[in-house]
Chains A and B, each alone.
Chain A
Amino acid sequence: EAGVVQSPRYKIIEKKQPVAFWCNPISGHNTLYWYRQNLGQGPELLIRYENEEAVDDSQLPKDRFSAERLKGVDSTLKIQPAELGDSAVYLCASSLEETQYFGPGTRLLVL
């Protein structure tokens, strides 16, 4: 069974530029999560989807971040415009029950 797929794996951009991350969860997993992980820290939840509905986006900086999950499968997380402080690893995870399955992450560097 394929795991959670994310792309790109690495992204380097100039500040103020837009950037987008894509996630394909494990087939059949209704719940999808986007996390941000800073160096030396644990993942922090940005947004959680149940099927197509964003059920928890309380920690998503909505002035510059947006996300969507079309048809309740793939998801895209966007940052526009990016700031230096957005440099981090962006992780996508999916779950059927309590256990979360993570993708490899996208490492973003904002210069």
Chain B
Amino acid sequence: SQKIEQNSEALNIQEGKTATLTCNYTNYSPAYLQWYRQDPGRGPVFLLLIRENEKEKRKERLKVTFDTTLKQSLFHITASQPADSATYLCALDVGYGNKLVFGAGTILRVKS
């Protein structure tokens, strides 16, 4: 069956450290993968998109990797700050014109 798995437990890290979040999937062949941030009581906000032919993408303190052989994406936040605390969702393109399937998300808590 098709499945998207993100770290089920919350990730607690110290300010200044690098946070690494994982997104694994099975039985999908996405053309691209996206990461979104969601704060409590708000809708998800787009962060990064990485395509199947790209290994890595960066935006400021954010970095995403995409390994289609391992069927895994890693999302890194360097020099993390308390303001980075949120839920991070990965979303896979499943074709049919911009149809996304979302993982359950990982809660990140950055402590000062």
Contact = CB atoms under 8 A, between A and B. Distances in A.
B45 interface: yes
The secondary-structure label for the interface of chain A is strand
B99 A56 contact: yes
A65 interface: no
B105 to A, nearest CB: 6
Contacts, number: 57
A4 B42 CA distance: 12
Interface stretch (B12-20, B61-69, B73-81, B88-96): B88-96
Given A48-B99, A98-B98, A40 B49 contact: no
A66 to B, nearest CB: 20
Contacts of B101: 45
Contact of B43 (A4, A40, A48, A98): A4
Interface in A1-35: 4, 31
Interface of A: 4, 31, 40-45, 48, 50, 55-56, 91, 93, 95, 97-105, 107
Interface of B: 4, 32, 34, 41-46, 49, 89, 91, 93, 96-105
Given A43-B44, A100-B44, A105-B41, 13 more contacts: A31-B97, A40-B104, A40-B105, A42-B105, A44-B102, A45-B99, A48-B99, A91-B44, A100-B100, A102-B43, A104-B43, A105-B42, A107-B41
